[in-house]
Structure 1
Amino acid sequence: MFVRNAVEDQVGTAGALEAAPLLQLVQERLPRCPHCSPFGQLLIQTVSTSGSVMEGLSNPTGALEVDSDLDSMYEFGPIHVQTADEFYTRRAAAPTSTGSHPTTAPPAPPCVIIAPTRNPGFVMLRQPRTPDCAHEHELLFSSEAFYKLMRCSVRFEQEASIGVRGTSGPSAEIERRCELGYDGNDAVPCLRAHWWPAQEFITRDRKQDWPPAKAREDIQLYGVHLVAKSPPGSPLGYYIWRISFSRAEVIASWHLTVQQRGSLLALKRCKAGLGKRGKGVKSYFMKTALFWVCQIVPASEWDSAVEGARWILHVLESAVSVRRLPCFFWADINVLQFLSAEELSAMTETIGLLRAHMDRLLMRWCAGPLSHLVEPVLRHPQEPIPEHELRVCLVRALVTSAVWDAIRKPCDSPRLAKYESFWVPRLLGSSAPGELAAMFHQELATTFLQTTLFRALLVAPDPVLSRTRVTPLPSGLLTLDPTPLVSLLQPQDVLEVLVNPLRVLDWCRQQHARPSAERPAGVPDHINSPRAFCDLALRPALLRRALCESVPGFREHLQAKLLNERMLLDRLRVFELSFHPQLGVFAERLRRKYDSSVMDRLQRALALDEDTTFMLAVQWWCELLRLLTEPVVQTEFRRRCAALPDTWSLRKYVFRN
Structure 2
Amino acid sequence: MVKSYYAKTAMLWLCEQTPKDDWTVVSQSVIKLLDFLEEAIDTGNLPCYFWSQLNLLRFTSQGDRELMKKALLDIRQNLSILLARELCVYQPGLQKMLTQTTTQLTERQVRVCLARWNILFGVIGNLEFYLAMDTSPEGERLLSVLVHSKQFTASTVSRLLRTFSHQYILHKYLFKAMTVAPEDVTLQIHFTPFGHGFAWDAAPLIELLNGCDMRCLLGDPDAVRAWLRRQQQLPEAERPAGLPADLRSLGDLCDLLFNIPLLSQALRGSVLDKWSGHAVNSERAMEWLTHYQFKTFEDIMKTCLNEASCWKDKAIDFQTKVGMDYQTALRTACRFGVEVRRFCDDPETAREDERRRRRLPDPWGLLLFWLGRPL
TM-score of the superposition, structure 1-length normalised? 0.37
Distance verdict in 2 for CA 1:534–1:302, change over 3 Å? farther
Alpha-carbon displacement from aligned partner over 1:91-111 (angstroms, at most 9, x marks no partner): xxxxxxxxxxxxxxxxxxxxx
Distance verdict in 2 for CA 1:367–1:487, change over 3 Å? farther
Distance verdict in 2 for CA 1:565–1:398, change over 3 Å? same
2:95 aligned to 368, 371, 379, which one? 371
Question: Given the alignment of the two structures, is residue 461 of structure 1 paired with residue 182 of structure 2, yes or no?
Answer: yes
Aligned equivalents of 1:497 and 1:563: distance in 2?
Answer: 19
Contact 2:129 2:166 in 1 (8 A): no
Q: Deviation of residue 323 (structure 1)?
A: 4.6
Q: Deviation of residue 528 (structure 1)?
A: 1.9
Alpha-carbon displacement from aligned partner over 1:461-494 (angstroms, at most 9, x marks no partner): 122112112222121x222111111111111011
Aligned equivalents of 1:423 and 1:369: distance in 2?
Answer: 37
Aligned equivalents of 1:522 and 1:539: distance in 2?
Answer: 7
Match of 1:386 in 2: 106
Contact 1:366 1:394 in 2 (8 A): no
Q: Deviation of residue 336 (structure 1)?
A: 7.2
2:76 aligned to 340, 351, 359, which one? 351
Amino acid at match of 2:229: R
Aligned equivalents of 2:252 and 2:272: distance in 1?
Answer: 23
Aligned equivalents of 1:516 and 1:510: distance in 2?
Answer: 12
Question: Given the alignment of the two structures, is residue 319 of structure 1 paired with residue 75 of structure 2, yes or no?
Answer: no
Contact 1:399 1:456 in 2 (8 A): yes
Give identity over the alignment, percent.
21
Aligned equivalents of 1:639 and 1:456: distance in 2?
Answer: 47
Amino acid at match of 1:527: L
Question: Given the alignment of the two structures, is residue 290 of structure 1 paired with residue 14 of structure 2, yes or no?
Answer: no
Q: Deviation of residue 311 (structure 1)?
A: 5.0
Aligned equivalents of 1:306 and 1:498: distance in 2?
Answer: 41
Contiguous gaps of at least 5 residues in structure 1: 1-167, 169-283, 426-439, 580-626, 645-657
Contact 2:10 2:37 in 1 (8 A): no
Amino acid at match of 1:523: L
Amino acid at match of 1:348: L
Distance verdict in 2 for CA 1:297–1:396, change over 3 Å? same
Question: Given the alignment of the two structures, is residue 638 of structure 1 paired with residue 355 of structure 2, yes or no?
Answer: yes
Distance verdict in 2 for CA 1:366–1:480, change over 3 Å? farther
Question: Given the alignment of the two structures, is residue 510 of structure 1 paired with residue 224 of structure 2, yes or no?
Answer: no
Question: Given the alignment of the two structures, is residue 447 of structure 1 paired with residue 168 of structure 2, yes or no?
Answer: yes
Amino acid at match of 2:118: L
Amino acid at match of 2:208: L
Distance verdict in 2 for CA 1:311–1:423, change over 3 Å? farther
Q: Deviation of residue 455 (structure 1)?
A: 1.2
Contact 2:142 2:290 in 1 (8 A): no
1:487 aligned to 178, 200, 207, which one? 207
1:389-538 alignment runs, 5 A limit: 389-410=109-130, 412=133, 444=165, 447-475=168-196, 477-538=197-258
Amino acid at match of 1:401: F
Q: Deviation of residue 444 (structure 1)?
A: 3.2
Amino acid at match of 2:248: N
1:557 aligned to 277, 284, 300, which one? 277
Amino acid at match of 1:452: Y
Aligned equivalents of 1:287 and 1:391: distance in 2?
Answer: 32
Q: Deviation of residue 419 (structure 1)?
A: 9.3
Contact 1:368 1:397 in 2 (8 A): no
Partner SS, residue 35 of structure 2: helix
Match of 1:258 in 2: none
Distance verdict in 2 for CA 1:294–1:344, change over 3 Å? closer
Aligned equivalents of 1:418 and 1:335: distance in 2?
Answer: 52
Match of 1:568 in 2: 288
Question: Given the alignment of the two structures, is residue 539 of structure 1 paired with residue 264 of structure 2, yes or no?
Answer: no
Amino acid at match of 2:249: S
Partner SS, residue 472 of structure 1: strand
Aligned equivalents of 1:501 and 1:445: distance in 2?
Answer: 24
**Count of residue pairs the alignment pairs up:** 285
1:171-320 alignment runs, 5 A limit: 284-294=2-12, 297=15, 313-320=31-38
Aligned equivalents of 1:335 and 1:418: distance in 2?
Answer: 52
Distance verdict in 2 for CA 1:471–1:310, change over 3 Å? farther
Q: Deviation of residue 643 (structure 1)?
A: 6.3
Amino acid at match of 2:182: P
Aligned equivalents of 1:387 and 1:422: distance in 2?
Answer: 51
Amino acid at match of 1:480: W
Cα RMSD of the aligned pairs, angstroms, is 4.5
Alpha-carbon displacement from aligned partner over 1:267-321 (angstroms, at most 9, x marks no partner): xxxxxxxxxxxxxxxxx445531244247748xx999x99788655423223335
Partner SS, residue 505 of structure 1: helix
Q: Deviation of residue 542 (structure 1)?
A: 0.6
When you count strand as a share of all residues, which structure comes out higher? 1
Partner SS, residue 471 of structure 1: strand
1:541-620 alignment runs, 5 A limit: 541-573=261-293
Amino acid at match of 1:463: D
Distance verdict in 2 for CA 1:538–1:521, change over 3 Å? same
Partner SS, residue 479 of structure 1: strand
Q: Deviation of residue 554 (structure 1)?
A: 3.5
Alpha-carbon displacement from aligned partner over 1:32-69 (angstroms, at most 9, x marks no partner): xxxxxxxxxxxxxxxxxxxxxxxxxxxxxxxxxxxxxx
Q: Deviation of residue 538 (structure 1)?
A: 1.2
Question: Given the alignment of the two structures, is residue 333 of structure 1 paired with residue 59 of structure 2, yes or no?
Answer: yes
Q: Deviation of residue 518 (structure 1)?
A: 0.4
TM-score of the superposition, structure 2-length normalised? 0.61
Distance verdict in 2 for CA 1:634–1:331, change over 3 Å? closer
Aligned equivalents of 2:275 and 2:45: distance in 1?
Answer: 54
Aligned equivalents of 1:345 and 1:392: distance in 2?
Answer: 38
Distance verdict in 2 for CA 1:446–1:514, change over 3 Å? closer
Amino acid at match of 1:461: P
Q: Deviation of residue 515 (structure 1)?
A: 0.9
Aligned equivalents of 1:332 and 1:453: distance in 2?
Answer: 47
